Amino acid sequence: MTSETTDRTPGKPDTADTADTAGSPDPRDSAPQFVLPLVVRIEKSAPPARTDALETAARAVLVMLSDERSTGDGPWARAVRDWEDARIRKVVRRARGAEWRRAERLPGITVTGDTAEVRVFPPVPLDGWPKDLARLQVSGTELDDPVAPPPAGPGQARLWLNPELRMSAGKEMAQVGHGAQLLWWALDDADRAAWRAAGFPLAVRTAPPGRWPELTASGRLVVRDAGFTEIAPGSCTVVADFPVRAV
């Protein structure tokens, strides 16, 4: 599922505005556009649980951002910088069987959860996808939770989903990836190192309906969607929070 977030990358934004609702030109639109590909493994006989897939996708984004190959003079660093200099786009595709095995042979990182496997790849040009990824399906990624997820635990970042929106699992995976990225940018080096060393503990939960207005108005990190698919432009999709930091 395609999802775009626009942001103020160098300044560590507090909001990811995925649509320019005012219609004013943005200099990032003139830059070459890149996308961060993610592929979720969905086998017919053993699909992952929905929340586990969302959390694994969010961690996969963080693993890519923090990997040595993505920073400094690493082999993926230029692609990551070019991606961050333009609109922040993520696309989630699904694969199974031979499709998944082909995807695993491409440069990237596979992140696993309890039931989910998500492979994240270095950013690619918007119109320059590797053939083995371009052929994968985007739409229709639907997953369920066999049991309700438990309450978030201590030390976990929170990625709160908008209870008023209905999105496919693929769409939500991209949205929580945006939220995790905002948290990463907002942390200082010491907090980043500690979060990474702990394995990026986080919890994706749907916000209680009565609390959503409070969350979006609280100064916490907010993701808004460009509205290319499924939902209206400018919709608030995720509020990201790191309770350890008393945001």
Task: List pLDDT tens digits, range 134-189.
Answer: 999 987 678 999 999 999 888 899 999 999 999 999 999 999 999 999 999 999 99
How far are the Cα atoms of 15, 38, 43, 87, 102 from residue 8, in angstroms, in the given order?
A: 8, 23, 38, 10, 35
Binned at pLDDT 50, 70 and 90, residue 25 comes out as: low
pLDDT in tens, 60-107: 999 999 999 999 999 999 999 999 988 889 999 999 999 999 999 999
Cβ(22)–Cβ(51) under 8 Å?
no
Residue 243, pLDDT score:
74
pLDDT in tens, 199-235: 999 999 999 999 999 999 999 999 998 777 788 888 9
Binned at pLDDT 50, 70 and 90, residue 27 comes out as: low
Residue 7 has pLDDT above 80, yes or no: no
Which residues, 6+ apart, have CB-to-CB distance to 177 below 8 Å? 3, 36, 38, 57, 58, 60, 61, 90
How far are the Cα atoms of 8, 35, 119, 207 from residue 93, in angstroms, in the given order?
A: 26, 12, 10, 26
Q: How far from chain centre, in Å, is Cα 197?
A: 20
Residue 121, pLDDT score:
98
Residue 30 has pLDDT above 80, yes or no: no
Residue 20 has pLDDT above 70, yes or no: no
- Residue 131 in tokens: 């053939």
Predicted model pTM: 0.89
Residue 35 has pLDDT above 70, yes or no: yes
pLDDT in tens, 113-142: 999 999 999 999 999 999 999 999 987 678
Q: Is 244 exposed, middle or buried (0-12, 13-18, 19+ CB in 10 A)?
A: middle
